[in-house]
A and B are shown apart, each in its own frame.
Chain A
């Protein structure tokens, strides 16, 4: 094992110490080091969006960031949104609109949509589709996801649907 080091990651408001190699991806550190398996891994080259998390409130690919680079930043994963007994507002919208089937893409979709929602501006359906262009879903055909996010944004940005 080459050059392992101990780092501290701030994830969902809690500091965690863990040992990593420099080559470890943040996605793997979250899943294997911290047991936070909500962050999914699909392509490992930035294309599918399944591994999307928030770093200081901004969406990023956790397959394209090394765990050692994430020190000193605030990380939010899907586990930070809600849990199966307490879905957050956006997760509730996903549920109401049937915005998931197998659920593989869902954590990435939620994190991308969380960043959008936090901007608190009204967006057209086109804007939302553009913003989700980096998140692939093989099940839903996207329409239900767009409907869930549109409604969530309309209800929080103060603009009509």
Chain B
């Protein structure tokens, strides 16, 4: 179908976008890459009065090193930009690997981080990466600027803690373990994942000093498997703790049955993806 009628306004900075959002009280929508919003408009799932185009705002496109070793990535940075960023590839190699799973080239050429986070699809890569990397999300609204931790940001499927008048400005990434594993299963290359897992490991003297495990596509939000993480610390990766982590991942998820896969199969995948990601991360950490 074709989109319903709406007005269009091109914002030249975030403040203008916030003012326009505020003035329309819930009847306006931001459009960044449009790769999630346009399908919804074409299906007429939404009928906003106004679209506020933020895709030309230069300040949302920065990738820079902030204070205390954090990287700040603007909300308007596209999936494509991450794939080609050397600096981010060095500090967070998992990002690049994960981006190859986000849709297809033509979608990655438009879709943005901010749009992905705000859309809050539990099967999408960015929400899970934000949770895995302990990211903070910087937002601006009429009442000012605030930082939201990723763990408090995703409230449910397509539901986040953003207020109606807020725009995401950037995602802040603190330093994180570099050794990574990322696996997902999708029906075809570029489709949304049925299930996926990401792992980050830090080692000291051959033992795991920090472990992080997160899942996507396995519940209403992305999921961190905190219990399994704590149990791996201070140990080598071995068949016993690997199996325990896989079980913990399976227990942490609450997937749904749909056209593409049963809940049972997704739980099975949660274990397998976690195991493979642990192996990959461990292999890197000890070499």
Contacts and interface: CB of A to CB of B under 8 A. Distances in A.
A69 B6 contact: no
Contact of B190 (A21, A25, A134): A134
A64 B33 CA distance: 9
A133 B188 contact: yes
A65 B110 contact: yes
Contact of A45 (B31, B39, B109): B39
B43 interface: yes
Interface size class of A (residues with CB under 8 A): 20 to 34
Contacts of A45: 38-39, 42-43
Contacts of B42: 25, 44-45, 63
A46 B8 contact: no
Given A45-B39, A46-B38, A115 B5 contact: no
B34 A65 contact: yes
Contact of B107 (A61, A69, A115, A130): A61
Contacts of B2: 23, 25, 28, 44
B214 interface: no
B38 to A, nearest CB: 4
A22 B106 contact: no
Contacts of B35: 46, 61, 64
A64 B80 CA distance: 17
Given A64-B34, A65-B110, A133-B188, A112 B55 contact: no
Contact of A52 (B8, B34, B106): B106
Contacts of B39: 44-46, 64
B189 interface: yes
A61 B103 CA distance: 12
Contacts of B8: 3, 22, 66, 68
Contacts of A134: 103-107, 190
B3 interface: yes
B33 to A, nearest CB: 8
Contacts of A102: none
B287 interface: no
Contacts of A59: 105-106, 109
Interface string B187-205: 0111000000000000000
Interface of A: 2-3, 21-23, 25, 28, 44-46, 49, 52, 55, 58-61, 63-66, 68-69, 112, 115, 129-131, 133-135
Interface of B: 1-8, 31, 34-35, 38-39, 41-43, 51, 53, 55, 80, 103-107, 109-110, 188-190
8 smallest beta-carbon distances between A and B, as pairs: A134-B104, A22-B8, A45-B39, A133-B189, A64-B38, A59-B106, A23-B3, A58-B109
